[in-house]
């Protein structure tokens, strides 16, 4: 009984500590809340993001691909939702993280629904992006977050075991002398959400928001399987990071830097350091066409017959910089569960006591998981 009670208290304490980290008490720069203190998959995962995209390591693909977007993607939106969640500036087309925008092609398996987009930037223009290219940071990186149309919501997608449940398009920014009109409608609204946790429907005074205008003209990209870059760092993401950046002026970037984080400090340097590539493979994909789905006569989708299963990651070693080194053989790694059975030789009264307690512990675990997932939409 004492052992069970002690275990009960330990689990409650551990769960509470985990919830604090997963529910928003995390930061990018700090001795007690920075990336080195992030819990869960952030600490123990083997397929974490971001990574350094080393152009000499990317596997070339000779075939050309077409990225297809439905008509909703090409629309100009007068109204959208903008949020300062204390960690980034986030944009949604609806008051929930979903939309009518659908994407497929470019080597993706199945179709994906646009949920939200958010930005990562630095205190100066030498840093800011989460992914790096040959060790180089860009001053800003945009993430367009999508989830598979097999799911009702982004939350349900992240709760599944599918390692390709979420698809994120990563877009780099480089400094230009002129303002970029494609993001001006967002820049116009940042002064209204400088303080964190404010949501509003934006009605831009200049220009309108168009998602396709945020894509670079040259659509060559890197593709790899990874994770969310904020807690919970769930390893359910297929990343497509475009090789070529789009523009942003220092004036526009300074508007992002004027926002405050969840601790009331300047919201800058909101990027996670790069992680080791480990056993993964980075593929280079030449996307030579961007089409409306209605204009594509083939109307074919590359389906994913194994969507409910985890993807086998190619066997690699890593060098001192965390970059992958190919080997000929692949391995599939499995994890064995722990034996939680009750010893039949134990006192029957102890069994009667432990059963409800185990149920309570299970409920606590589920509550922790649900709490973790509930914050994903805000990060």
Higher per-residue pLDDT: 339 or 278: 278
| Share of the chain residues as helix, strand and coil, in percent rounded to the nearest 5 | 25, 25, 50
Q: Can you tell me the distance from the alpha carbon of 249 to that of 306, in angstroms, rounded to the nearest whole number?
A: 43
Higher per-residue pLDDT: 30 or 203: 30
Q: How far is CA 79 from CA 92, 140, 197, in A?
A: 10, 24, 19
Q: Which of 170, 258, 252, 256 is nearest to 214 (CA)?
A: 170
Chain centroid to Cα 206, Å, comes to 30
Q: Given a cut of 80, is residue 33 above it in pLDDT? A: yes
Confidence (pLDDT) at 150: 95
- Residue 31: CB partners within 8 Å, gap ≥ 6? none
Q: Given a cut of 60, is residue 369 above it in pLDDT? A: no
Q: Given a cut of 60, is residue 220 above it in pLDDT? A: yes
49: tokens are 């993001």
Higher per-residue pLDDT: 375 or 270: 270
Confidence (pLDDT) at 64: 83
Confidence (pLDDT) at 205: 56
Stretch 286-300: mean pLDDT? 77
379 labelled catalytic: no
Higher per-residue pLDDT: 178 or 372: 178
Confidence class for position 293, pLDDT limits 50, 70, 90: confident
176: tokens are 């230009």
**CB neighbourhood size of 318 (10 A):** 14
* Chain segment 62-92, per-residue pLDDT in tens: 568 999 999 999 999 988 999 999 999 999 9
Confidence (pLDDT) at 304: 44
DSSP 8-class letter at 77: B
In the set 87, 118, 137, 379, the catalytic residue is 87
Higher per-residue pLDDT: 361 or 34: 34
Residue found by looking up tokens 């205190």 in the block: 123
Q: Which of 56, 371, 93, 59 is nearest to 214 (CA)?
A: 93
Q: Tell me which fold the domain 47-329+357-378 belongs to.
A: Carbonic Anhydrase II (3.10.200)
Highest mean pLDDT among 194-198, 346-350, 353-357: 194-198
Q: Given a cut of 60, is residue 327 above it in pLDDT? A: no
Q: Can you tell me the distance from the alpha carbon of 165 to that of 57, in angstroms, rounded to the nearest whole number?
A: 26
Confidence class for position 336, pLDDT limits 50, 70, 90: very low
Query: What ranges do the domains of the chain cover?
Result: 47-329+357-378
DSSP 8-class letter at 309: S
Q: Which of 221, 286, 242 is nearest to 61 (CA)?
A: 286
Q: What is the pTM (predicted TM-score) of this model?
A: 0.75
Stretch 334-360: mean pLDDT? 39
Q: Given a cut of 90, is residue 14 above it in pLDDT? A: no
The mean of the pLDDT values for the chain is: 77
Lowest mean pLDDT among 86-95, 104-113, 367-376: 367-376
Lowest mean pLDDT among 9-13, 29-33, 78-82, 359-363: 9-13
Q: Given a cut of 50, is residue 38 above it in pLDDT? A: yes
* Chain segment 165-183, per-residue pLDDT in tens: 999 999 999 999 999 999 9
Q: Can you tell me the distance from the alpha carbon of 126 to that of 109, in angstroms, rounded to the nearest whole number?
A: 35
Q: Given a cut of 80, is residue 308 above it in pLDDT? A: no
**CB neighbourhood size of 147 (10 A):** 26
Q: Which of 115, 352, 365 is nearest to 236 (CA)?
A: 115
Q: How far is CA 327 from CA 226, 318, 330, in A?
A: 20, 11, 8
DSSP E strand boundaries for the chain: 52-53, 59-69, 80-84, 89-92, 102-105, 112-121, 132-133, 140-148, 166-175, 198-202, 221-226, 237-242, 246-248, 283-292, 316-318, 324-326
- Residue 157: CB partners within 8 Å, gap ≥ 6? 147, 148, 150, 151, 165, 166, 236
Stretch 207-227: mean pLDDT? 93
């Amino acid at each position: 009984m004492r052992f069970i009670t002690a275990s009960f208290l330990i689990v409650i304490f551990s769960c509470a500590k985990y919830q604090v980290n997963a529910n928003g008490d995390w930061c990018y720069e700090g001795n007690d809340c920075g990336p080195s203190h992030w819990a869960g998959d952030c600490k123990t995962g083997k397929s974490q993001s971001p990574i350094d995209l080393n152009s000499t390591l990317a596997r070339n693909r000779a075939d050309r691909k077409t990225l297809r977007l439905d008509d909703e993607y090409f629309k100009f939106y007068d109204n959208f939702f903008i949020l300062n969640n204390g960690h980034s500036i986030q944009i949604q087309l609806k008051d929930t993280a979903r939309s009518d925008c659908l994407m497929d092609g470019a080597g993706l398996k199945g179709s994906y629904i646009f949920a939200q987009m958010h930005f990562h930037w630095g205190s100066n223009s030498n840093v800011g992006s989460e992914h790096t290219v040959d060790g180089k940071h860009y001053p800003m990186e945009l993430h367009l977050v999508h989830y598979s149309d097999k799911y009702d919501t982004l939350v349900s997608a992240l709760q599944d075991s599918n390692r390709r449940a979420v698809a994120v398009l990563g877009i780099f920014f480089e400094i230009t002398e002129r303002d970029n009109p494609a993001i001006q409608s967002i820049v116009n609204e940042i002064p209204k959400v400088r303080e964190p946790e404010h949501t509003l429907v934006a009605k831009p005074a200049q220009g309108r928001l168009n998602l396709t205008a945020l894509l670079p003209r040259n659509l060559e990209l890197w593709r790899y399987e990874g994770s969310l870059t904020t807690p919970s760092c769930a390893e359910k993401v297929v990343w497509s990071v475009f090789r070529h950046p789009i523009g942003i002026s220092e004036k526009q970037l300074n508007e992002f830097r004027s926002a405050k984080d969840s601790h009331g400090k300047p919201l800058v340097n909101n990027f996670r350091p790069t992680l080791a590539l480990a056993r993964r493979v980075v593929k280079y994909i030449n996307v030579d066409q961007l089409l409306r789905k209605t204009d594509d006569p083939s109307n074919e989708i590359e389906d994913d017959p194994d969507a409910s299963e985890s993807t086998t990651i190619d066997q690699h070693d890593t060098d001192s910089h965390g970059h992958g080194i190919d080997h000929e053989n692949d391995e599939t790694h499995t994890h064995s569960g722990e034996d939680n059975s009750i010893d039949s030789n134990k006192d029957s009264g102890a069994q009667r006591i432990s059963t409800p307690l185990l149920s309570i512990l299970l409920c606590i675990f589920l509550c922790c998981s649900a709490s973790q997932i509930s914050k994903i939409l805000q990060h």
